[in-house]
Amino acid sequence: MNTDDALERHALSCFRNHDGITREIERRAITDAQQLGELPSNPDAARLAFELDALACAANAEALLFDDDSAYDRAAAAIHDRLHALV
């Protein structure tokens, strides 16, 4: 196994373990914001958490695959736009 394969397996393992925890934290934060009236109740918190996490994951993949850190800026702008479209 070469170094790239080992790195990819490690990254995938970390991602699988981290993903569910991260999305649950995001879902709880969204639910709290909805209960405080800071975000509308539609879409549901789990769906919105999934969407925001997908943007972050896409940025991470692009940054790593293409050595392009500007992907994080694009994801941050997309997340900002998605949240502000709700209010």
Mean pLDDT by 10 residues, the chain (87 residues): 59 60 86 93 92 88 89 93 92
Q: Where are the domains of the chain?
A: 3-86
71 neighbors 62 (Cβ within 8 angstroms) = yes
Copy the structure tokens of residue 84.
Answer: 């502000």
Global pTM value = 0.74
* C-beta of residue 87 within 8 angstroms of C-beta of residue 39: yes
- Tell me how many degrees the CA angle 57-63-66 measures, rounded to the nearest 5: 130
Q: What was the pLDDT predicted at 15?
A: 59
